[in-house]
Structure 1
Amino acid sequence: MRKLFLFSIIPLLAACGGSETFSPAEEAGMQLATQVSIFESKDNQKQWILRADAVDFSDLKSATLKKPVLLLKENGRDSVQVTGETGSFDYPSKLVSIEGHAIIKSLTEKATITAEQFSYDVDKNRIWSDTKTVITRGGAKVTAKGGVETDSKLSKIELKKQTTRLPVRTDELKLNKETLHK
């Protein structure tokens, strides 16, 4: 059985002596918290963890995130990390959105994917972007102008709206020695 937990740590000035505070905004209904973690567990193992420096819970259907970090787990181990400047978590659809210099980094493979925005569907366990995306794996770098879609392991990456120039003549298919040594 899957359970969704909300856990927030609120630093108190009196208790910690730090400079961070927890205080609702002056507008009625605003609910702000700092250093928040939202996660989902299955069989006593966390499947994913969403952390943020600050979260606005005032909207009952979604949370607005500042400096979000989404950590995806595989067999109890950290496998993929998604970071950005801002984001949101839509409770009913279980959809995480991370925006602003968004980066997906595989913690098990040598792969990094960058775009302006990424979305993560919790139920389908997939990550995607509909904007220009750059994939770096090892020494190879590919740009997908229409975005990408991948599983949470980054083992299967689908390039969207990618175009490739095919040779017009058969002699373009032949490799010469100069091409092989470049």
Structure 2
Amino acid sequence: MIDTSRLHLRRPREADVDAVFAYRSSPDVARYLRAGPWTREHTESELASYTTARFAGPGDELVLVVEILETGEVVGEVGLVWLHDENAEIGYVFNPRFGGKGLATEAVGAVLTAARNDWGFARVIAKTDALNASSRALCERLGMTLVATAMTTDGRNVEETTYAVPASTTP
């Protein structure tokens, strides 16, 4: 669906379950995610739903797995939720084993560009646990601006930051 110089972002396949489960079940990764650690069964169910999910209007979500072009290894996911009107929320999770190579920056940046240029979203936000320094740094590298910090209302009692790509810029 989206290619960069090193990555291919595409809809999930059944064959991706093991790779996604490897990082989604890790406590070190899941501590920053709303859903917490995933079981293998939950991973299978989520990926199956992402495979054919609509992305045509508010409430729809597009999730793309990120694979390295050269090796085909799945290193993470980037998702985009259509919030309302011309606004979307981007989310991402990556296997820390592949950290420090700029892959997350490349993948999330490509989806942000597509969100603005191809899908016509005027504003894209990202929400992240305030303690997740890597995620916050990623938002800042991509030119996103911190617009809010608040406690979550979903029962996790976590301070969450909201970043936004202003309507007049593209990463």
* Higher normalized contact order (CA 8 Å, seq sep 6+, divided by chain length): 2
Asked which structure has the greater CA Rg, the reply is: 1
Task: From the two aligned structures, give the one with the greater helix fraction.
Answer: 2
Q: Give the alignment's TM-score, normalised by structure 2.
A: 0.29
Q: Give the alignment's TM-score, normalised by structure 1.
A: 0.28
Task: From the two aligned structures, give the one with the greater strand fraction.
Answer: 1
